[in-house]
A = this chain, B = another copy of it.
Amino acid sequence: MIDLSLLPDGGLTWLDASGPASHLVLSTRIRLARNLAPHPYALRATLGDREGILTDVQAAARETVSLRKAHLFRVDRLPLEDRQLLHERHLVSKELAGLGDPAVVRPGAALLVQDRVGVMLNEEDHLRLQGFRSGFDLDAAYQQVDRVDSELGQRLPFAFHPEFGYLTSCPTNVGTGLRASVLIHLPGLVLTKEISKVLQGLAQVGLTFRGLYGEGSEVVGNFFQLSNQTTLGKSERELLDHLGKMVRQVIEYEEQARQVLLRDVPTIIEDKVWRAYGLLRHARTLSFEETMNLLSGVRLGVGLGLVDQVGLYALNKLLVHTQPAHLAQHEGVGATDPELNVRRARFVRALLEDEAGRRGATP
């Protein structure tokens, strides 16, 4: 079993709701795709190449500040549960975790982590550097990952073309190799049915959206990952400024939508919020998907000041710890445990009861 304290968000720092706009934005994540010039791209890399990449990167990492104390997870040697766990933490992609289709773990698949930065190794690109922050904080997330990039770049021969920029396995990542993702909660826009208009607008300005778990994952609980689509032809600064501007706009739309709901259908909103809370407080079996949807309702209530029985940090913790692999680890059972939904409901009840008691709120 993975020691959770080794994870960069082991203390869940990026979920403590301390960052900017935490009532709407759960976290900001930036990744940089990098490849080592001497080795072929992942699709054509031999086993020897893949091990060589691991050796080279580890050696370089030991000489940096950002990754000096990093822990290496050999994802290719981890049992399924642990790979799921890392994926649920957003530290490794579905593919690197061997949870894609086909569900194969690539040889040499690994993760290097320290504090709030991580490096996926032998993913689609040789290296995918990631930086995480609480709330909406593109600059801080970029500074973190930029430092790792500089430190490693001084010691490793990153594939770079003077005209195109960083070279990557997939052409869409060529250039800066940067993808910035903002995990944002947009129930207001969903309830007012304005969300598709907003998402279409984002697509027109080069942004894309996904569900909680990256490419191809469904949107549940009104949680959206907004990110830039391409990286070619723009500087890192330009990409971040553009995404930042657009996300601020989305935040404004969401705030407006909430005010409209509170003004026009306050009862429906209050009812929705409190029913969600009531079900989380009392249900005896909860699927993860239903939990997400109910947490979405309660989170809206907290954002609107309707609910004070629970804080954002607790809701964020629930979102992470009710995921199948996290819950299974907490309960000391396998991820296919038939009682997992019952355990989830018990876990949620206990946390919410404790939280309500701690906050001295009446139910």
The reply to whether the CB of A284 lies closer than 8 angstroms to some CB of chain B is: yes
Q: Is the CB of A283 within 8 A of B274?
A: yes
Interface set, chain A 253-289, CB cutoff 8 A to B: 267-268, 270-271, 274-275, 277-279, 281-285
Q: Is the CB of B345 within 8 A of A271?
A: yes
Known: A278-B278, A278-B279. 4 other contacts (CB 8 A): A267-B342, A270-B284, A275-B283, A279-B279
Residues of B within 8 A of A279 (CB): 275, 278-279
Check A363/B281 contact, CB under 8 A, given A267-B342, A342-B267: yes
Residues of B within 8 A of A274 (CB): 282-284
The reply to whether the CB of A151 lies closer than 8 angstroms to some CB of chain B is: no
CB-defined A-B contacts under 8 Å, sample of 17? A267-B285, A267-B342, A268-B285, A270-B284, A271-B284, A271-B345, A274-B282, A274-B284, A275-B282, A275-B283, A277-B282, A278-B278, A278-B279, A278-B281, A281-B281, A281-B363, A353-B362
Return the CB mask of A345-363 against B: 1 if under 8 Å, else 0.
Answer: 1000000010000000011
Q: A35 to chain B: closest CB distance in Å?
A: 50
Q: For the complex formed by this chain, how many copies does it contain in all?
A: 2
The secondary-structure label for the interface of chain A is: helix
Residues of B within 8 A of A353 (CB): 362-363
Which of B267, B282, B285, B342 is within 8 Å of A278, CB to CB?
A: B282
For A306, the closest partner residue in chain B by CB is B284
Residues of B within 8 A of A275 (CB): 279, 282-284
Q: Is the CB of A267 within 8 A of B282?
A: no
Provide the bound-state CA to CA distance between A160 and B268, in Å: 59
Which of B267, B271, B285 is within 8 Å of A271, CB to CB?
A: B285
Shortest beta-carbon contacts, A-B, top 7: A278-B282, A278-B278, A271-B284, A274-B282, A270-B284, A271-B285, A274-B284
Residues of B within 8 A of A270 (CB): 284
Interface set, chain A 321-363, CB cutoff 8 A to B: 342, 345, 353, 362-363
For A281, the closest partner residue in chain B by CB is B278
Most central of A271, A274, A275, A282 by chain B CB within 10 Å: A282
For A268, the closest partner residue in chain B by CB is B285
For A271, the closest partner residue in chain B by CB is B284
Most central of A274, A275, A277, A284 by chain B CB within 10 Å: A284
Provide the bound-state CA to CA distance between A277 and B363, in Å: 13
Most central of A277, A278, A283, A353 by chain B CB within 10 Å: A278
Provide the bound-state CA to CA distance between A274 and B278, in Å: 9
Q: A281 to chain B: closest CB distance in Å?
A: 6
Provide the bound-state CA to CA distance between A274 and B363, in Å: 15
Return the CB mask of A278-316 against B: 1 if under 8 Å, else 0.
Answer: 110111110000000000000000000000000000000
For A277, the closest partner residue in chain B by CB is B282
Check A267/B284 contact, CB under 8 A, given A363-B353, A363-B363: yes
Residues of B within 8 A of A268 (CB): 285
